[in-house]
Structure 1
């Protein structure tokens, strides 16, 4: 007879989890329009990509500009003054895992050959990029599913 109580308890628990999941998905989004605040334009950020097997590293200095509902990112390299890339991101819609941004490369100049970042930029231009943002101790934190984390003052 104990198995009947366990079965009923398990069914009730599953039902409650499903109801909570439905309610959570229907909650309004908070801070959906301001993942990138204008304050990010003043931040000194550096991105690094590393390939341990090939013993290769690439450093980039991104500059963010929030303008007209879009985010423009300009990438330059401190190791190569000839490299430059400009990207436009525009929020499309909210998904269960975050906000989906369209990702449009506007300019790419790499006279010295193939870079690791070229694969990343190409992938995101075809698939978009999903971002999540939250606030923590007067800082804005932006996270991508690939693990890229940006933090800047609000």
Structure 2
């Protein structure tokens, strides 16, 4: 049940990131530039990119990729292979050996990329909210009322 959900999130993340990039380009080409809107679109782009990268890493852990075939029977120090270790946060696939050492096959780069993208999304969301509040509001006295 979780595999189709993560697949849908992966596709949705890629589609939303692509749409965010297109919208960002359109916002930059058509002045005047609303900085609050640009921050909001960039926040959407970074957050959906973080979702897509996490789902990609999740699939690499769940489906195994080249893992556990990469596990050696003995490591460089001669310790025997004791088993495999999988975690979903942080994403980790590792060969465990009897001397306590591990060899990871999903590097920290995926986790770092997810954290950086998500952090940028949070900062940009806050910036968009701040800029939206500071933007001058149109006067309410000029509204047209239809009877």
* Structure holding more helix per residue: 2
Question: Is this a same-fold pair by TM over 0.5?
Answer: no
| Superposition TM-score, scaled by structure 1 size | 0.34
Compare relative contact order (CA 8 Å, sep 6+) and give the higher one, 1 or 2.
2
Larger Rg: 2
